[in-house]
A and B are shown apart, each in its own frame.
Chain A
Amino acid sequence: MKPTRVTNAIRTLRFAHGEMTQAELAERIGVTRQTIIAIEQGRYSPSLEMAFRIARVFAVPLDDAFGYEDGLE
């Protein structure tokens, strides 16, 4: 299974929002802290629904929270 091409700015967004902790973000979207860590480190690509929930927490469009790298092989 190839590593995900989905990138994210969750770490940056957390710090921009009062240094929100991973545990706090996890609590707000209803997942475990380990899942937030896995998403931040690119070890798990969230479902579209979870991605929207994360973007909503930071009140940003989906594109500001997540990206997709073209040409990565």
Chain B
Amino acid sequence: MTFQEKGVWVYGVLTAVVSAVYFVFLAGQIRTTAVSEIGYQIPMVAAIVVSIVLFIVASIAITIASPADADKADQRDKDIDRHGELIGYYVVAAGCLPVVILAMVRADQFWIANAMYLTGVAGALVSSAVKAIDYRRGFWR
């Protein structure tokens, strides 16, 4: 497995785990509290910061484990990255529509912010999944 492929797996798994923890927290709050009263801001920022920090730490760990491969990316890595990012972009673009509709109907900012976060998470997960599949199954132009 190349350095880039390991990075794809780390990014996908971290995004899935951290966002799952955040949404489980929210689900617990929604049952007992009115959405306008839920303090989601700090947990959301924490989820984003924790994802970034853990990804940096994991990348350093991967580099230490196999320093010779560190940061090597050839044409195949770049092709797969471009393909995954393109599909992820489509997901984010599609996810923006519900966010705009929520804003138009003046939904509570809780729903707008979380729909936005969910869109970003979905884009990252789909992008990582596409790249992981391209690496395993194959990538053809």
A interface residue numbers (CB < 8 A to B): 1-4, 30-32, 34-35, 38, 41-47, 50
Contacts and interface: CB of A to CB of B under 8 A. Distances in A.
21 contacts: A1-B139, A3-B138, A4-B138, A31-B74, A31-B75, A31-B76, A32-B72, A34-B1, A34-B2, A34-B5, A35-B74, A35-B76, A38-B138, A38-B139, A41-B138, A42-B138, A43-B138, A43-B139, A44-B76, A45-B141, A47-B75
Contacts, number: 44
Contact of B138 (A30, A32, A44, A47): A44
A52 B138 CA distance: 21
A34 B134 CA distance: 13
Interface in B52-103: 69, 72, 74-77
Contacts of A32: 2, 69, 72, 74, 76-77
B141 to A, nearest CB: 6
A32 B76 CA distance: 9
A2 B75 contact: no
Contacts of A43: 137-139
